[in-house]
């Protein structure tokens, strides 16, 4: 394809691509992101292609591979357009029937339709499904139409329109004003106003500046950025280009987690394609603006999600944060002014430019505008990526979209914001989700992880889990985080192992506050949040561990024991075979027994027993 030398070239290409697409009569859309591939989508794709060819209709039907559609629990999915028909949990064995009945004759295969786990009702189209209906999908809506490996797809749905609009008539200062008045705040965790960040970087009189995309999404339980970058990389690149134009940068970097191989691959391919079309490089679309992007892989260090650490890592060094007395917008990467935003923030920029700041600001709450993507996971029926307008309540997200508890156990908490956030109890589920309200209630939005916990989760154990995570990931540069997290973990471990005392709880509180006040970087400052929020809202669970030496959820190994109930045990032997430590003894059809000295209380036998014959005491 020839290079695009002018905005009119881009528009002509868009029109041609749109015309070409009008000729396609029937499309089978198959999502093929990381989650989809984990659910065996490549085998489904192969089977469908083979069947289309075998039944002789491969010329009339287009198979369109896209990124993630968000409803990961139902993968592998297939969508049929026109018609919006959706099939869930498709297997390669279904391909023959799908092609013969649905594709050829327009019949609907009932068993492959989505069944709502709440009402038991079946739904034919994607838009009818309650999971999608309760959302406001702006960024994720593109994923359905865009093959992440095809720049043509992105251009056909209106891609790079915002760039062309910017380059032909919006001065950098006006772009910044537009972003400021949209009210866009950083989606990575801090919630800093994006326009202000850009304005500060612009005001520094330096020739060399950088824009950086933070795709080092290390928060466990969050994968929004992976999905956006993996499914629609050009959207992110276009956002970065507009940012670069606004602040005066010529070079950009995308720093991606190495644990996201598909995102790395798609981002690299997108950069290559954009360069081939002249959308990256010198004099983009014939304008004086020149800009290029490189993709760098992270090394698997959580702390590198922090701005200063990320930039040090980009320089090829050990990713330790540095004091922020001088902001990165003044002295960042290679000591040059640098604007760092995360994937989702960059992805919001093009639509603000195209639709105007008023459109963006019309969604959301007073202090938090627009939509936000959350990764809804844990013990809910519908797990996946959820995009909602800011201000939607936790209750709506967890019950309307998530469909409520998964295993029949009552939901008791939701963890938001990853290791920097906190756990909120059911009594707080009516709060609107936005930056400020979550912060006031003792948690934070973070990048958007939302892990739902039920009665089978011990909240003290959750605090221990995050402290272990932070101990493991602390870079060790500053004492409060390195030593403080260690000591907090020691105390929480004592509590979960039955050695806790009342004095330790107050010491834990004091330590947590000190670590929060004195740590060097944002990760240390927020490291106490999981402890403080669980102590605040689940004090009774701490009390049960300390005073009664009891774990109400039956999780903490030192405080529980397993018993085989003689009246329920059938002697089937499943537990005996499943025990990795050979702690269960017994003969067939006779009641089995657990040898306490050998048992390490892993609980595998409980999950394996079909007769509920193993009790946790």
Partner 1 sequence: MSMTTIDPILEGRRSQPSQLIEVLQDVQEICGYIPQDAMKTVAKELGVPLMEVYRVVNFYKAFTLKPRGKNVFTICTGTACHVRGSDLLIDQVKGQLKVEPGDTTKDGLFTVESVNCLGACALAPIVVQNGSYLDHMTPAKLRKIIEKTRETKKKKEALNA
Q: Which is nearer to partner 1, 48 or 575 (CB)?
A: 575
Task: State the residues that interact with partner 1 by CB under 8 A.
Answer: 34-35, 37-39, 72-73, 75, 217-223, 226, 257-260, 296-302, 313-319, 375-379, 383-385, 415, 418, 449, 451-453, 457, 465-466, 469, 472-473, 475, 578-581, 600, 602-604, 607-608
The whole-angstrom separation of Cα 464 and Cα 557 is 13
Q: How far is the CB of 193 from partner 1 (least distance, A)?
A: 27
Q: How far is the CB of 378 from partner 1 (least distance, A)?
A: 5
Alpha-helix residue ranges (DSSP H) falling in 385-501: 394-395, 435-440, 459-473, 479-496
Q: Which is nearer to partner 1, 151 or 264 (CB)?
A: 264
The whole-angstrom separation of Cα 334 and Cα 346 is 22
Q: In a 3-state reduction of DSSP, which class is residue 380?
A: strand
Q: How far is the CB of 340 from partner 1 (least distance, A)?
A: 17
Q: Which is nearer to partner 1, 176 or 576 (CB)?
A: 576
Q: How far is the CB of 30 from partner 1 (least distance, A)?
A: 17
Cis peptide bond prior to 76, omega within 30° of 0: yes
Q: Which is nearer to partner 1, 290 or 607 (CB)?
A: 607
Q: How far is the CB of 592 from partner 1 (least distance, A)?
A: 17
The three-state (H, E, C) secondary structure of 208-262, written as one string: CCEEEEEECCCCCCCCHHHHHHHHCHHHHHHHHHHHHHHHCCCEEEEEECCCCHH
Q: How far is the CB of 388 from partner 1 (least distance, A)?
A: 16
Q: How far is the CB of 54 from partner 1 (least distance, A)?
A: 27
User: How many residues are present in the chain?
Assistant: 617
Q: Which is nearer to partner 1, 240 or 303 (CB)?
A: 303
The whole-angstrom separation of Cα 151 and Cα 149 is 7
The whole-angstrom separation of Cα 119 and Cα 563 is 37
Q: Which is nearer to partner 1, 139 or 375 (CB)?
A: 375
Contacts 24+ apart (CB under 8 A), 103-108: 103/26, 103/28, 103/52, 103/57, 103/61, 104/55, 104/57
The three-state (H, E, C) secondary structure of 127-171, written as one string: CCCHHHHCCCCCCHHHHHCCCCCCHHHHHHCCCCHHHHHHHHHCC
Q: How far is the CB of 461 from partner 1 (least distance, A)?
A: 9
The whole-angstrom separation of Cα 548 and Cα 531 is 20
Q: Which is nearer to partner 1, 8 or 611 (CB)?
A: 611
Q: Which is nearer to partner 1, 277 or 380 (CB)?
A: 380
């Amino acid at each position: 394809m020839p290079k695009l030398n002018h905005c009119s070239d881009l528009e002509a290409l868009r029109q041609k691509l749109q015309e070409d697409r009008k000729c396609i009569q029937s499309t089978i859309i198959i999502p093929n992101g990381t989650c989809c591939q984990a659910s065996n989508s490549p085998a489904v794709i192969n089977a469908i292609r083979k069947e289309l060819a075998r039944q002789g209709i491969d010329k009339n039907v287009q198979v369109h591979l896209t990124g993630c559609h968000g409803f990961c629990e139902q993968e592998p999915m297939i969508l049929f357009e026109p018609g919006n028909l959706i099939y869930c949990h498709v297997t390669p064995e279904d391909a023959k029937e799908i092609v013969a009945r649905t594709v050829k004759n327009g019949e609907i295969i009932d068993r492959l339709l989505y069944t709502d786990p709440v009402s038991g009702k079946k739904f034919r189209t994607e838009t009818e499904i309650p999971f999608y209906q309760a959302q406001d999908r702006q960024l994720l809506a593109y994923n359905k139409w865009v093959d992440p490996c095809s720049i043509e797809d992105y251009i056909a749905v209106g891609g790079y329109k915002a760039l062309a609009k910017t380059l032909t008539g919006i001065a950098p200062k006006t772009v910044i004003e537009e972003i400021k008045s949209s009210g866009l705040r950083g989606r990575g965790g801090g919630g800093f106003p994006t326009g202000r960040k850009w304005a500060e970087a612009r005001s520094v009189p330096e020739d060399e500046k950088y824009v950086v995309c933070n795709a080092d999404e290390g928060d466990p339980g969050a994968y929004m950025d992976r999905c956006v970058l993996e499914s629609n990389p050009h959207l992110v690149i276009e956002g970065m280009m507009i940012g670069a134009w606004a602040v005066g940068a010529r070079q950009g970097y995308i720093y991606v987690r190495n644990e996201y191989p598909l995102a790395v691959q798609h981002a690299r391919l997108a950069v290559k394609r954009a360069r081939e079309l002249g959308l990256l490089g010198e004099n983009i679309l014939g304008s004086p603006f020149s800009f290029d992007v490189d993709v760098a892989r992270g090394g698997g260090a959580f702390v590198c999600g922090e701005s200063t650490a990320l930039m040090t890592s980009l320089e090829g060094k050990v990713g330790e944060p540095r004091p922020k007395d001088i902001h990165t917008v003044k002295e960042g990467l290679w000591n040059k002014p640098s604007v760092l935003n995360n994937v989702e923030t960059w992805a919001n920029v093009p639509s603000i430019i195209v639709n105007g700041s008023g459109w963006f600001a019309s969604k959301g709450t007073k202090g938090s505008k627009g939509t936000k993507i959350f990764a809804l996971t844990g013990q809910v029926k519908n797990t996946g990526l959820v995009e909602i307008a800011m201000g939607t309540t936790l209750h709506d997200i967890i019950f309307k979209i998530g469909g409520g508890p998964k295993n029949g156990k009552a939901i008791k908490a939701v963890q938001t914001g990853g290791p920097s956030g906190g756990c909120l109890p059911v009594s707080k589920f009516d709060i609107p989700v936005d930056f400020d309200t979550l912060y006031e209630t003792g948690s934070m939005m973070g990048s958007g992880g939302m892990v739902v916990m039920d009665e089978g989760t011990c909240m003290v154990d959750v605090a221990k889990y995050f402290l272990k995570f932070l101990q493991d990931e602390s870079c060790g540069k500053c004492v409060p985080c390195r030593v403080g997290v260690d000591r907090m973990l020691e105390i929480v471990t004592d509590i979960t192992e039955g050695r806790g005392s009342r004095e330790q709880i107050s010491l834990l509180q004091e330590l947590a506050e000190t670590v929060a006040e004195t740590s060097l970087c944002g990760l240390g400052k927020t490291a106490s949040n999981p402890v403080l929020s669980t102590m605040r809202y689940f004090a009774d669970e701490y009390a049960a561990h300390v005073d009664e030496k009891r774990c109400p959820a039956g999780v903490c190994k030192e405080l529980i024991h397993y018993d085989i109930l003689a009246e329920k045990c059938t002697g089937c032997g499943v537990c005996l075979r499943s025990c990795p430590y050979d702690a269960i003894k017994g003969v067939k059809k006779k009641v089995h027994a657990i040898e306490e000295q050998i048992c390490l209380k892993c609980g595998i036998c409980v999950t394996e027993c079909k007769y509920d014959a193993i009790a946790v005491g």
